[in-house]
Amino acid sequence: MVLLQGEGLPDMVGIGAHDLPPSKWLEIENRSRRGPLYDRVRHVRQGVMQLAGTTTKGAYLTGGHTYGRGKAAAGATEEPGEIIVAEPGSEAAPTAAWLGVREDGTAFLVAIDLQWDSFDLREALEQSLSGDFHIQHVSAGSYQAAPDVRMPGWKIEIEQADAPMPSVGPKA
């Protein structure tokens, strides 16, 4: 997972091949864009982040739905989540992306250890979520991040923001 950013644009979360260079992510996201372009790519190492919704640009969902019911009382986790900046040069562990949707319609993405299956993830989520939710594996796609990506009760580790890259616009 990567977080794509650009001046005056909503943050986007991209899901796809782990070895795509930043320039390729920008090319993909800017492909049909007119006006301001995305110019920064930050790798999401692990954790849970909130989305603006479940609208996507061609996500490829796999693995079927796994349903769960949170054990936390409604409103129990009021403290915002935490963004941790990854140490420069530290190696990222292999992760898989999962889309979660709560009964109130709010959505989130999870970057978690590649070894976890949907049942492991469901058990972890049940401890901090209230109400019904479902999760589904995402192989590729992009989603709009919420204005505040922090998920209450969870941490998200993201690489430090680098200087903007040269504009990568749509091909003529």
Print pLDDT tens along the chain (172 aa).
999 999 999 999 999 888 889 999 999 999 988 889 999 999 999 999 999 987 656 566 666 678 888 887 766 656 778 999 988 877 878 899 999 998 888 899 999 988 898 899 999 999 888 889 999 999 888 899 999 999 888 899 999 876 565 554 444 4
Where in the sequence is the domain holding 73, given as residue range(s)?
2-158
User: Is residue 58 included in any domain, yes or no?
Assistant: yes
In a domain? residue 164: no
In a domain, 26, yes or no: yes
- Position 168 in a domain: no
Residue 127 lies in a domain: yes
Our count of domains for the chain comes to 1
Q: Is residue 64 part of a domain?
A: yes
SS (H, E, C) the chain: CEEEECCCCCCEEEECCCCCCHHHHHHHHHCCCCCCCCCEEEEEEEEEEEEEEEEECCCEEEEEEEEEEEECCCCCCCCCCEEEECCCCCCCCCEEEEEEEECCCCEEEEEEECCCCHHHHHHHHHCCCEEEEEEEEEEEEEEEEEEEEECCCCEEEECCCCCCCCCCCCCC
* 75 lies in some domain: yes
